[in-house]
Amino acid sequence: MSNRVIKVDALARVEGEGSLYVRVKDNEIKEVRFGIFEPPRFFEAFLQGRHFMEVPDITARICGICPIAYQMGAIQAMENAFGVEVPRPIRDLRRLIYCGEWIESHALHVYMLHAPDFLGLSDAIQLAKSNRDLVQKALRLKKIGNDLLEAVGGGRAIHPVNMRVGGFFRTPRKAEIRALIPDLEWAIQASHDTIRLVGGFNFPDIEQNYTFVALRHEREYAIHEGRVVSNRGLDIGLPEFLDHFDEEHVKHSNALHGFQKPGKQPYHVGPLARFAINHDKLHPETLSAAKEVGLGAVVRNPFQSIVVRSLEILQVCLDALAIAKNYEEPDSPHTEPVVKASVGYGCTEAPRGLCFHRYEIDDQGLVKTARIMPPTAQNQKIIESDLWKVVAAHLSLPDEDLKWRCEQAIRNYDPCISCATHFLKLTVDRE
């Protein structure tokens, strides 16, 4: 009888702390556990009793990599509760700052965290030794994302302070936004180079028949607004979200595991889901770049997420450039909300996938209940499902190689474990 345990105590190149345990008996996988031991932070509980205006700046603290996702979801939920409509220039600025977050988050993941996997290197430092220009390009790309965040977000890229319910505290001057144009033009070219590079990587031959869930918008590649749509016919407004999706505690993790009802079906959020659901909304230049590297309308190989993520960098650079060229300063930086007891919903596409917010507000504008579903929590079950398939396909590999393949499979999702509840432990048991 052959027993095999593979164990990674500290998975590298993921945001946060977690662990992986795989047990194999007689060449058959018995158990796969993607565990998260980062302690829960109880954001939803301590939002209770807070004034609605405080909420976006509190939720921004959920994540240092994607604060806009948490800020904007909360802001839009409050606006939804109070019936606030924002004018076009405010909407454009919101999309622009979100493009900045996608650029910096995707550039960090594609180059510094994920590309080394495909180049047989241990990390970005090794990558810099073999390809200095590439790493410098990545750093400049990421900085352009940060510059966008700072230009719109009030001088701080990490926890921007300028967004508020109803709009912005201060809207940027036209000249400040126009000044971003030359860098964005460079970023578009750099994105094409990135797509060609990662498109040429070798990918393990693994495909999954995913249920993809993403926002969809009638006019654009959905980032900050839309209906929740799946590739299996679901098409719902935000108030119906919790009728179809929920989360559960599992013994081996501090992160909640999201599932689709009925039953507890895994589903996939993030770049592959967005690409499949909104393929027709991609910019012609992005579509053509996708075709050049051989991608069809749907990508089911999770390892190719690095290519889709790179295409999304191009998409948002193109979007950001168009907004920067056309931006006109709004008459007023914000619309003042009128408080009423209500329930509000907000949902945006964080770099890692759909991020849902629901708040119940009382007539004094205080939060009665809060519910936030981060993308990494929603992807927990699908990550485990991918791992079953990856381990099964690579059982012949020695433990060290199998361990590395599993870590790579987890990095396909750019999991932000800090958001989902932080580091990964991998244990593979071969009995």
Partner 1 sequence: MTANDALIIGIGNEFRRDDSAGLLVAARIEARNLPGVEVLTHHGEGTGLMSLWQGRSLVVVVDAVSSGQDCGTLHVVNTRCEPIPSGWTLFSSHAFGLAEAVELARDLGELPQSLWIVGVEGKDFSHGQELSPAVAHALENAVTKVIELVRPMA
The site for partner 1 (CB under 8 A) is made up of 12-17, 38-39, 41, 64-65, 108, 112-113, 123-125, 128-129, 132, 135-136, 139, 142-143, 146, 157-158, 417-418, 422-423
Q: Tell me whether residue 94 or residue 142 sits nearer to partner 1 (CB atom).
A: 142
Contact 58, 70 (CB under 8 A): no
Can you give the length of the chain in residues? 431
CB of 129 to partner 1, least distance (A): 6
Which tokens hold the place of 19? Answer: 């662990």
CB of 13 to partner 1, least distance (A): 5
Q: Tell me whether residue 356 or residue 423 sits nearer to partner 1 (CB atom).
A: 423
Q: Tell me whether residue 29 or residue 151 sits nearer to partner 1 (CB atom).
A: 151
Angstrom distance (rounded) from CA 380 to CA 386:
10
CB of 47 to partner 1, least distance (A): 15
Q: Tell me whether residue 131 or residue 342 sits nearer to partner 1 (CB atom).
A: 131
Looking up tokens 């510094």, which residue turns up?
A: 112
Q: Tell me whether residue 123 or residue 248 sits nearer to partner 1 (CB atom).
A: 123
Q: Tell me whether residue 66 or residue 402 sits nearer to partner 1 (CB atom).
A: 66
Task: Give the type of residue at 378.
Answer: Q
Q: Tell me whether residue 103 or residue 222 sits nearer to partner 1 (CB atom).
A: 103
Cα–Cα distance list, 205 to 121, 132, 390 (Å): 20, 30, 10
Contact 325, 217 (CB under 8 A): no
Q: Tell me whether residue 139 or residue 293 sits nearer to partner 1 (CB atom).
A: 139
Largest distance between two CA atoms of the chain: 75
CB of 43 to partner 1, least distance (A): 12
Helix extents (H) in 156-304: 174-178, 181-199, 241-244, 271-277, 284-292
Looking up tokens 């979200």, which residue turns up?
A: 241
Which tokens hold the place of 147? Answer: 């510059």
Q: Tell me whether residue 380 or residue 418 sits nearer to partner 1 (CB atom).
A: 418
CB of 380 to partner 1, least distance (A): 17
Angstrom distance (rounded) from CA 293 to CA 408:
21
Of 151, 204, 232, 101, nearest to 412 (Cα)? 204
Of 223, 216, 220, 270, nearest to 73 (Cα)? 223
SS3 28: strand
* CA angle (334 as vertex; 330, 337 as ends), nearest 5: 145
- Determine which helix (DSSP H) or strand (DSSP E) holds 88, and give its type and residue range: helix 88-107
Of 414, 371, 353, 420, nearest to 69 (Cα)? 353
Helix extents (H) in 62-131: 67-82, 88-107, 115-118, 124-130
Angstrom distance (rounded) from CA 106 to CA 97:
14
CB of 377 to partner 1, least distance (A): 16
CB of 131 to partner 1, least distance (A): 11
CB of 157 to partner 1, least distance (A): 7
Cα–Cα distance list, 80 to 45, 200, 333, 353, 394 (Å): 21, 44, 18, 21, 48
CB of 15 to partner 1, least distance (A): 5
CB of 41 to partner 1, least distance (A): 8
Query: Any bridge partners for residue 212, and if so which?
Result: 268
CB of 425 to partner 1, least distance (A): 14
SS3 354: strand
Q: Tell me whether residue 146 or residue 286 sits nearer to partner 1 (CB atom).
A: 146
Q: Tell me whether residue 39 or residue 294 sits nearer to partner 1 (CB atom).
A: 39
